[in-house]
Amino acid sequence: MRPFDRIPVHAKSGETMKFKMYHDSNCPYSRKVLIIAAEHGKDDVFEFISPFTPEGQAGIVRENPLAKMPALVIEPGFAIFDSRVICRYVDAFGDAGNSFYPTDPDELWKALRYEALGDGMVDAAIFARQELSRPADKQMPERISKQLSKVDEGLDCLEREIESVSASMTVGTVACSNALAYLDFRWGQKDWRADHPGLAAWYDELKLRPAFKKHDFVESDLLVKKLAAASR
């Protein structure tokens, strides 16, 4: 098993070993991992494999029974998955003093709660988008509005708690800002800034950090091609 707290090097060449990671540039959960790695200056340790190619699709099913990205291959046949697990793994590559997981228990639970909230907002936004992409006569508007109301409640909660959200940089901060980035990427029609000025001010400054900019969302050519092929 690869060591948990450092990036292994090749015994002979001394070069840093790369981790295969199932990832694509439009995946919000993967983005959390990349931001934390980049904040630690360790985002060059990945070799990306997109699940949107036939080989990538076969590989991800082999490595992650849930067939979801991100999945990080620790060693052949043993991948860890779910961004929450991978974020924690990758965080250990950085200096303990800059960890995104506070040592103070109260702060840690706060961070994990915000992580769950940010991820949950992304889950809901994705679900609503998937429902919207079904043929018009098969869509269920109540499903869409139910999911979007989770996003709205999440935004209101973050606005109310903006002092606490903005007080420190944790995995929760990354997840919440990631949810806002995802709304800008996929739900541009939703003007969330209008009713959430505190959140908007916080996020619009945070997103300028190099790690956040470097791993901004990019439409995936591979996904676009895959969807086009499926609709033919």
Ligand X SMILES: N[C@@H](CCC(=O)N[C@@H](CS)C(=O)NCC(=O)O)C(=O)O
Task: Say whether residue 200 binds ligand X (CB under 6 A).
Answer: no
Binders of ligand X among residues 115 to 174 (CB under 6 A) are 119
Q: Which of 16, 45, 80, 82 binds ligand X (CB under 6 A)?
A: 82
Verify binding: residue 187, ligand X, rule CB under 6 A. no
Q: Find the binder of ligand X among 42, 62, 68, 129 (CB under 6 A).
A: 68
Closest approach, Cβ 188 to ligand X, in A, equals 18
| CB closer to ligand X, 70 vs 102 | 70
| Shortest Å distance, C-beta 128 to ligand X | 14
Nearer to ligand X, 82 or 153 (CB): 82
Q: Which two tokens stand for residue 168?
A: 């420190």
- The smaller minimum CB distance to ligand X, of residues 16 and 132, is found at 132
Which range touches ligand X (CB under 6 A), out of 64-72, 94-102, 140-148, 163-171? 64-72
Q: Tell me the closest approach of the beta carbon of residue 116 to ligand X, in angstroms.
A: 10
Choice between 179 and 200, CB closer to ligand X: 179
The two beta strands, 71-75 and 78-81, are antiparallel
CB of 28 to ligand X, least distance (A): 6
Distances (CA, A) of 93 to 66, 96, 98, 229: 26, 8, 10, 40
Which of positions 23-52 make contact with ligand X (CB under 6 A)?
27-29
Phi/psi of residue 73, each to 5°? -85, 110
Contact 220, 50 (CB under 8 A): yes
Is 69 a binder of ligand X (CB under 6 A)?
yes
- Among 7, 17, 45, 67, which residue sits at the site for ligand X (rule: CB under 6 A)? 67
Give the binding site for ligand X (CB under 6 A).
27-29, 67-70, 82-84, 119
